[in-house]
């Protein structure tokens, strides 16, 4: 696969091969943070990965729920874990447009965390399994090291 479809986790150095269906746009890159936008047909996922070994999952989730003015969370979300990884997934609506909804997923591992925000609507519903597979693929990059 072309390297344009590969993404490297800055915390672990692990690489994900996303295949040709996903286009990656690098939004920000420095020694502590990588922000990327992933686009596939009608799915857009914004991802921010932050190196911060002192941050706990609950702190990141609480911060999102209380300090992200563009999102209004519709549920308490669900915490989960797999090996060294812990995560949280919730549903939010746009604070300015109640018809816009998002799946918000936070993955936490030693060394930092990743925040995934995916816009979902009737058009993306048929592609939801691809979105789940995409998030699972990127989650795997947090499990190394």
> Which domains can be identified in the chain, with CATH numbers?
3-140 (3.40.1000.10)
Largest CA distance in the chain: 41
**pLDDT recorded at residue 2:** 38
Q: Band of the pLDDT at 3, cuts 50, 70, 90?
A: very low
Rounded to whole angstroms, the Cα distance separating 113 from 21 reads 25
Which pair of structure tokens corresponds to residue 3?
């390297």
Q: Band of the pLDDT at 145, cuts 50, 70, 90?
A: very low
Q: Band of the pLDDT at 1, cuts 50, 70, 90?
A: very low
> Residues 35-56: what's their mean pLDDT?
91
Q: For 82-94, what is each residue's pLDDT tens digit?
A: 777 899 999 999 9
Q: Band of the pLDDT at 17, cuts 50, 70, 90?
A: confident
3-state secondary structure the chain: CCHHHEEECCCCCCEEECCCCCEEEEEEECCCEEEEEEEECCEEEEEEEEECCCCCHHHHHHHHHHHCCCEEECCCCEEEEECCEEEEEEEEEECCCCCCEEEEEEEEECCEEEEEEEEECCCCHHHHHHHHHHHHHHHHCCCCC
Is pLDDT of 64 > 90? yes
Rounded to whole angstroms, the Cα distance separating 73 from 53 reads 26
Rounded to whole angstroms, the Cα distance separating 80 from 13 reads 23
> Residues 23-31: what's their mean pLDDT?
87
pTM above 0.75, yes or no: yes
């Amino acid at each position: 696969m072309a390297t344009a479809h590969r993404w490297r986790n800055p915390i672990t150095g692990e690489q994900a091969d996303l295949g040709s269906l996903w286009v990656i746009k690098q939004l920000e890159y420095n020694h502590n943070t990588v922000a990327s936008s992933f686009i596939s047909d009608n799915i857009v996922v914004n991802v921010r990965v932050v190196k911060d070994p002192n941050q706990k999952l609950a702190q990141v989730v609480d911060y999102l729920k209380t300090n992200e003015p563009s999102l209004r969370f519709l549920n308490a979300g669900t915490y989960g874990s797999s090996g060294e990884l812990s995560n949280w997934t919730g549903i939010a609506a746009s604070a300015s447009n109640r018809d816009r909804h998002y799946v918000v997923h936070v993955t936490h591992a030693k060394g930092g965390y990743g925040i995934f925000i995916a816009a979902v609507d009737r058009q993306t519903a048929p592609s939801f399994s691809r979105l789940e597979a995409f998030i699972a693929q990127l989650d795997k990059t947090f499990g190394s090291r």
